[in-house]
Amino acid sequence: MPAGGNVVNWFALHVKPRHEKAVEQQLNGRMLEGYSPYYFARRHWSDRVKEIELPIFPRYVFCRFSFEERLKVLSIPSVISIVSFGGAPCPVNDADIETIKGMVASGLPLMPWPCLRIGERVRISHGPLSGLEGILTREKAAYRVVVTIELLQRAVAVEVARDLIVPATNTRRPPASSILTPSVARLGGVVGISS
């Protein structure tokens, strides 16, 4: 539902990479409420370890404004667009923003987490099954998921720790059946044990 009139809503702004703080400051300078939540992460370099502040939502800043103020928001050089659906800016629920603010204010360690849904294609990011892709079939318990991996047009389910699962990207490796096809062709189309 498009926002209109003088109704003030939160919206997500898509911004240039690493411009979250600058956009938030510019919004606040224009008398608009901007919000970009951050978390602390430990980064390792060859000569030191440092704790740095990173955005929870990289390339996004939340802003509270009325539909009529959208041009004031879009005139900020680092703002690319207002997140929209069907051409209309999509408001973010006030409760969601308040929840995020509460989490940040709690002082507890935070980290961004991929939003995974049942039926989504996922990849195992590290560990002995690193690189394998499958379909997320169900969440069994906290921090555990079941992934179905297609192999030779069969499914194999495996339980892996939740932190090993990431959304699969478009640059995924080919399915196992296409990997195996060339070797079968080299054998003359017959798979078996030769005597």
Domain ranges of the chain: 8-105, 121-186
pLDDT > 90 fraction of the chain, expressed in percent and rounded = 47
Q: How confident is the model at residue 178 (pLDDT cuts 50, 70, 90)?
A: very low
Q: Which residues pair with residue 134 across a beta bridge? A: 122
Helix (DSSP H) and strand (DSSP E) numbers for the chain: 4, 14
Fold for domain 121-186?
SH3 type barrels. (2.30.30)
pLDDT > 70 fraction of the chain, expressed in percent and rounded = 76
Q: Which of 36-40, 50-54, 100-104, 174-178 has the lowest mean pLDDT?
A: 174-178
Which class would CATH give 8-105?
A: alpha beta
Residue showing tokens 């318990």: 141
3-state secondary structure of 151: strand
